[in-house]
A and B are shown apart, each in its own frame.
Chain A
Amino acid sequence: MSEAGKQQDNEFAIQTRGLLKQFASVRAINNLSIALPREGITSIVGPNGSGKSTLINLLSGTLPIDEGLVIIEGMSLRAILPYDSPNHGITRTFQEVRLFDQMTVLDNLLVILTKREVFGSLFEPPRASYRNRARQLLDSVGLWDKRQDMAANLSYGQRKLLEVSRALAMDVQIYLFDEPFAGLFPAMLERVKGLLEGLRRERKTIIFIEHNMDLIRQLSDYTFVLDSGELLAEGEVQEVLAKPEVIEAYLGT
């Protein structure tokens, strides 16, 4: 990847300084300082329980930060409130798909597109622009025909696709995808891959968690390997995956 050299000079999208998150006696994220490059696709890999999801939860404000600092676009933050994360240009998907189950597919997207203010949304008439945007997004994942179905009635793969398109609807700079490919059939997998690559073409920052090495090799420009809440290795995909300690972490546990 030719961008790799450039990333060193460029600003970083997100940096963490001494990030720490503790659950009972377990340190899920232990004093983690990393710098996630701007633009392109970055993957985070690591064995189960290595703190990947926790990291995303911390960056998106889903979990409160215990200690440490997150620097997003040059802004230092000691705490990220969940509803502030879009203001920092961050959106995400969840590992266990969290759709609004008893709402229609269309409403699942429209709710993301409408105004954020209480009274703004109260007095907002239904707008054609929202509907068109929702149609565009649903078309891109092939769910427009299902728009009147309850989200709970979709198949697993369709739910996953809907969640990805919900993140796309946010139209921000930084996208955090928590295992977007897990459990998908090849056809749907290709679709999600296409969406991610589309985002890369729009020069967005994409960060995703994945276990499948082939996908990581194909997609990511840069890779971080976490183990026990600490950084094990980082760098370009091929280099990193060839490192002995990374292989050991994966095979040894």
Chain B
Amino acid sequence: MLEKPVAESPWWRSLSNPRLLGTRLSSNVELLINFIVVVATIVFILSQGSGFGIRIAQLFAIFAILAVSLNLVIGYTGLLSLAHVAFFGVGAYSVAILTTDAAYEQVPGHIPHFGLSFFTALFVGMAITGVVALFVGGVLSRFRDDIFVLVSVGFAVISHRIFLFWQPVTRGPFGIHAIAKPEVGGMVIDSRLEFLFLTLAFLVIVFLISWLIVRSSFGRVLMAIREDEQAIEVFGYKARYFKLTIWVISAMMAALAGGITASEQTFIDPQSFVLLESILLVTIVILGGLGTLWGSLLGALVFVLLNEGMRFVPFLPGELIGQARLAILGIVIVLLMLFRPQGLVGRFKL
């Protein structure tokens, strides 16, 4: 067990004492950032009504799962992967294809349908993603630094092209419609609120698992690999297997997020799984902070706020919101790298 220095009592203690809270906030930048973001979210959601709040929360939960799982790979193991969207996509497409039974065909030709239930499909999809990730990770484990990034970009692009052009299975650019909703004990989870709770439950599970991994001896080895792979190997660790394991775990978490998204939207097409999404995920993780799980939650929250807040900028035409978001994110990333390379609340500097 790690010991905390005596001075650092848990931050929530100070909530009961306003004066203490004030001094703590002014002395602790990270806490201040947390505080501002959370308050801003609450104000924002309250001002917009519950329907909007649910939508934001849903978006946040998905991005949070993706960011937390990606942080395991980038922040803890030091592998800057841009292939995460590929696993997100494989998970989404697996669930979509495995659950479809209504013959909803826009393209001629035989499209297989399996008619599995959502949860079965989700687990099968995660297993499929795990196998894919094992293969991809095996290729990637030979490379480091920017070569690694390039090859991971390659897998992201290849997976997108497969979603787009392997029409007999993925229905190509038309996408897959009418994806089944999950059923729990005979009750179909249909409303947005119910789905939000399901997603949040998955987020909690993913977060807990990640937290346990990070706290375990395994997590410590991952950090050592991030710091100096050659040195940790000399002490008897087969770094390659450690990297592969965390890679597969992270990919399966991404697949989970993909499956939920597919079912929640009831429609997916290849445009949701382009390289840009991967880049966005990396920026979220770096923004929140590498090597801290809370940071990833915070990063996802900031991202969602930015995303939705853009709609209320007065002089911005609707079709440019996405672009304006990218422009701001890009500038933020450059500034972060210059002035705060550990991200908003992180410890690890890239």
Measuring CB to CB, which residues of chain A are less than 8 angstroms from any residue of chain B?
60-62, 82-87, 91-92, 94, 98-104, 106-107, 110-112, 114-116, 118-119, 121-126, 131, 147-148, 166, 170
Q: Mark B287-309, 1 if CB is under 8 A from A, else 0.
A: 00001000000000000000000
A83 to B240: give the CA distance in the assembly, Å. Answer: 10
- Name the distance in Å between B243's Cβ and chain A's nearest Cβ: 10
A18 to B218: give the CA distance in the assembly, Å. Answer: 39
What residues on B are CB-neighbors of A148 within 8 Å?
2-3, 5
Q: Do A91 and B242 touch (CB < 8 A)? A: no
Q: Do A170 and B217 touch (CB < 8 A)? A: no
- Name the distance in Å between A109's Cβ and chain B's nearest Cβ: 10
B348 within 8 A of A: yes
- Name the distance in Å between A49's Cβ and chain B's nearest Cβ: 21
- Counting contact residues on chain B (CB < 8 A from A), the size range is 20 to 34
Q: Do A102 and B227 touch (CB < 8 A)? A: yes
B245 within 8 A of A: yes
B35 within 8 A of A: no
Interfacial residues of chain B within 46-67, with CB under 8 A of chain A in the complex: none
A166 to B227: give the CA distance in the assembly, Å. Answer: 15
Q: Do A124 and B223 touch (CB < 8 A)? A: no
What residues on A are CB-neighbors of B1 within 8 Å?
126, 131
Residue on B with the closest CB to A110?
Answer: B220
A211 to B228: give the CA distance in the assembly, Å. Answer: 27
Between-chain CB contacts (< 8 Å), 29 pairs: A61-B234, A82-B230, A82-B233, A83-B233, A83-B238, A83-B239, A85-B236, A86-B234, A98-B231, A99-B228, A100-B223, A100-B224, A100-B228, A100-B231, A102-B347, A102-B348, A110-B217, A111-B217, A111-B221, A111-B224, A116-B238, A118-B218, A122-B216, A122-B217, A126-B1, A126-B215, A147-B3, A148-B2, A170-B236
Residue on A with the closest CB to B245?
Answer: A118
Q: Mark B187-229, 1 if CB is under 8 A from A, else 0.
A: 0000000000000000000000000010111101101101110
- Name the distance in Å between A30's Cβ and chain B's nearest Cβ: 24
- Binding site of B, secondary structure by majority: helix, strand, loop or mixed? helix
A118 to B225: give the CA distance in the assembly, Å. Answer: 13
What residues on B are CB-neighbors of A121 within 8 Å?
216-218, 221
Q: Do A101 and B227 touch (CB < 8 A)? A: yes
What residues on A are CB-neighbors of B114 within 8 Å?
none
Interfacial residues of chain B within 238-288, with CB under 8 A of chain A in the complex: 238-239, 241-242, 245
Given known A-B contacts A98-B228, A118-B241, A92 and B234 have beta carbons under 8 A apart: yes
Interfacial residues of chain B within 300-342, with CB under 8 A of chain A in the complex: none
B237 within 8 A of A: yes
Q: Do A116 and B236 touch (CB < 8 A)? A: yes
What residues on B are CB-neighbors of A115 within 8 Å?
217
B104 within 8 A of A: no
Residue on B with the closest CB to A131?
Answer: B1
Most chain-A CB neighbours within 10 Å: which of B216, B217, B239, B348?
B217
What residues on A are CB-neighbors of B233 within 8 Å?
61, 82-83
Contact of A86 among B236, B291, B349 (CB under 8 A): B236
What residues on B are CB-neighbors of A122 within 8 Å?
213, 216-218, 245
Most chain-B CB neighbours within 10 Å: which of A82, A103, A106?
A82
What residues on B are CB-neighbors of A126 within 8 Å?
1, 215, 217
What residues on A are CB-neighbors of B347 within 8 Å?
102
What residues on A are CB-neighbors of B217 within 8 Å?
110-111, 114-115, 121-122, 124, 126
- Name the distance in Å between A74's Cβ and chain B's nearest Cβ: 21
Residue on A with the closest CB to B233?
Answer: A82
Given known A-B contacts A83-B239, A118-B241, A62 and B221 have beta carbons under 8 A apart: no
What residues on B are CB-neighbors of A131 within 8 Å?
1
Most chain-A CB neighbours within 10 Å: which of B3, B216, B237, B238?
B237
A95 to B226: give the CA distance in the assembly, Å. Answer: 20
B12 within 8 A of A: no
Q: Do B223 and A116 touch (CB < 8 A)? A: no
What residues on A are CB-neighbors of B232 within 8 Å?
100, 111
Most chain-B CB neighbours within 10 Å: which of A102, A126, A170?
A102
A100 to B77: give the CA distance in the assembly, Å. Answer: 12
A123 to B233: give the CA distance in the assembly, Å. Answer: 20
- Name the distance in Å between B223's Cβ and chain A's nearest Cβ: 5
A86 to B233: give the CA distance in the assembly, Å. Answer: 10
A82 to B238: give the CA distance in the assembly, Å. Answer: 9
A83 to B235: give the CA distance in the assembly, Å. Answer: 6
